[in-house]
Amino acid sequence: MIPIRKVEEKQQPQQRLFALLYVFPVLFLFFGLFVKSNEMTWLAGMLEIFTSPGTLLTDFFEVGGIRAAFTNAALMGGVTLYLFKRYEVRIGGLSLAAFFTVLGFSFFGKNPLNIFPIFIGGAIYCNYQKIAIRDVLLVLMFSTGLSPIVSQIMFAGIFRPGIAILLGMAIGILIGFIIVPISSHMLRFHDGFNLYNLGFTAGIIGTIFTSIMRSFQIEIEPVFLVYQKNHGVMILFLVCLFIYLIVLGYRINPNAIRSYRGILRFPGRTVTDFPMLVGYGITFVNMGFMGLLSVLYVVLIGGVFNGPVLAAIFTVVGFSAFGKHPKNSFSVVLGVWIAAVFFGYELQSTGMILAVLFSTTIAPIAGTYGPIAGVIAGMLHLALVTNIGGIHGGINLYNNGFSGGLVAGFFVPIIDAFKKGGR
């Protein structure tokens, strides 16, 4: 067992933490309003984003333009922080992960319109069970990975407009109602070795809903709509944001950079709340460092910084407050790389970049069982993630979380079996 000892630093007031995080949606809003772009007008872009079916992969940079996509992300980030503050959610590891995941996926798939019914369903569930919304709010935040099913029903032309709106709302409310109890059971399947637990849960629910729709001869058309142009100013913007996190960590704890190695001791298995274990200073340094590593990776392989790639980067950053760090992530990423080269995938393609960055959802396997297990897990992850999207029809945005849950649920018992057999 690794001793849990919080690094000495002053207790951070929650009000100050909220103010520091509001920097992200505010800067996103300014970037969206003032960046030069040759795409459609801002208002037309926002309308396109709000009425897009949003299934995998629907890049909001391509749908509505960069300005509208950043504005949508700013709105979503602002709403998330408002709800945290309204319901007195503590800024900890999981809430940081939720905030940055929502922020990132607002570049492809999520918007205020298609997440609204899910929150209504969650509120009804809380009222029915006589529990506080605060107790399930983080689960509801992550459950918005299923928001494309709302947009798909509303705007894909499957039903008449009036019926489509009502049915989309109803399905979203149902998802919000059922996902909380289901997610707690799904955690047992992978035993905390898949950090994106709601991705696995959403994959199961999405598969069931897609299967029901297919039984009624309603087919969800596959989508691969991605932006294919890099903007230097966007890369610089991302680098500045992640340097901001590192500086923030240093200001909170002047010893954060010197003590950073201490965070590498943790395997990362759920629940690994870094702010609670090592303090906010080291946590923010880890988040910023992981963000810079992600940006560097995309630059080195010649990838495009489009909506899905930004979603992957910000999700990595968020979960770097809740289990991820360079040591437990590297071997998993290496495993994906080896498998990609072996199977002849293009490493610079958007799909492969997503597989590499999101594969860190199973970083706890490497952190617990070592780098060889991490490499094998990464190879298994790529084999699954490139073939599993058709099962849920793309209505689960967390495709890698679904794959990660299956890898962990399959691979971890095998590792344990060999460990026991070798004693």
pLDDT value at residue 423: 40
φ, ψ of residue 58 to 5 degrees: the values are -115, 100
In a domain, 35, yes or no: yes
In a domain, 7, yes or no: no
**C-alpha count within 13 angstroms, C-beta hemisphere, residue 253:** 26
Average pLDDT over residues 3-22: 73
Q: Are residues 139 and 32 in the same domain?
A: yes
What CA–CA distance (Å, rounded) separates 233 from 235?
5
In a domain, 20, yes or no: yes
Q: Where does a domain end: 215, 247, 268?
A: 215
What CA–CA distance (Å, rounded) separates 208 from 206?
5
Q: Are residues 331 and 369 in the same domain?
A: yes
Q: Are residues 267 and 406 in the same domain?
A: yes
What CA–CA distance (Å, rounded) separates 83 from 35?
28
Count up the domains in the chain and report the number.
2
Q: Are residues 210 and 278 in the same domain?
A: no
Rg for the chain, CA atoms, rounded:
20
Instruction: Assign 3-class secondary structure to 148-194.
Output: HHHHHHHHCCCCCHHHHHHHHHHHHHHHHHHHHHHHHHHHHHHCCCC
pLDDT value at residue 9: 64
Q: Are residues 210 and 237 in the same domain?
A: no
Residue 10's DSSP bridge partners are none
pLDDT-based confidence at residue 237 (cuts at 50, 70, 90): very high
Q: Are residues 308 and 413 in the same domain?
A: yes
φ, ψ of residue 413 to 5 degrees: the values are -60, -30
Q: Are residues 186 and 284 in the same domain?
A: no
Q: Are residues 272 and 205 in the same domain?
A: no
Give per-residue pLDDT as tens, 285-342: 999 999 999 999 999 999 999 999 999 999 999 999 999 999 999 999 999 999 999 9
In a domain, 104, yes or no: yes
pLDDT value at residue 2: 43
pLDDT-based confidence at residue 51 (cuts at 50, 70, 90): very high
What CA–CA distance (Å, rounded) separates 179 from 318?
22
φ, ψ of residue 386 to 5 degrees: the values are -80, -5
Q: Where are the alpha helices (H) located in 193-257, listed in sequence order?
A: 197-215, 232-252
Residue 218 has pLDDT above 60, yes or no: yes
Q: Where does a domain end: 163, 181, 215?
A: 215
Give per-residue pLDDT as tens, 364-421: 999 999 999 999 999 999 999 998 877 887 888 999 999 999 999 999 999 998 875 4
The average confidence (pLDDT) of the chain is: 92
pLDDT value at residue 217: 85
What CA–CA distance (Å, rounded) separates 380 from 65?
35
- What is the DSSP annotation of 307-367? HHHHHHHHHHHHHTTTT--HHHHHHHHHHHHHHHHHHT--TTSHHHHHHHHHGGGGHHHHH
Q: Are residues 204 and 271 in the same domain?
A: no
Q: Are residues 263 and 362 in the same domain?
A: yes
pLDDT-based confidence at residue 224 (cuts at 50, 70, 90): confident
**Higher pLDDT, residue 243 or 190:** 243
**Higher pLDDT, residue 9 or 277:** 277
Token pair of 278 as six digits: 């090592």
**C-alpha count within 13 angstroms, C-beta hemisphere, residue 93:** 23
Residue 76 has pLDDT above 90, yes or no: yes
Q: Are residues 200 and 287 in the same domain?
A: no
3-state helix, strand, coil in the chain (%, to 5): 70, 0, 30
Indicate the DSSP class of residue 225: B
Residue 352 · residue 345 · CB < 8 Å? yes
Q: Which domain holds residue 29?
A: 14-215
Average pLDDT over residues 257-286: 95
Give per-residue pLDDT as tens, 88-131: 999 999 999 999 999 999 999 999 999 999 999 999 999 999 99
Q: Are residues 21 and 169 in the same domain?
A: yes
In a domain, 236, yes or no: yes
pTM of the entire predicted model: 0.94
Q: Where does a domain end: 215, 243, 261?
A: 215
What CA–CA distance (Å, rounded) separates 305 from 381?
23
pLDDT value at residue 332: 98
In a domain, 223, yes or no: no
Identify which of 289, 237, 292 has the alpha carbon closest to the alpha carbon of residue 70: 237
In a domain, 67, yes or no: yes
pLDDT value at residue 1: 39
pLDDT-based confidence at residue 10 (cuts at 50, 70, 90): low
In a domain, 315, yes or no: yes
Residue given tokens 């997440």 in the structure block = 115
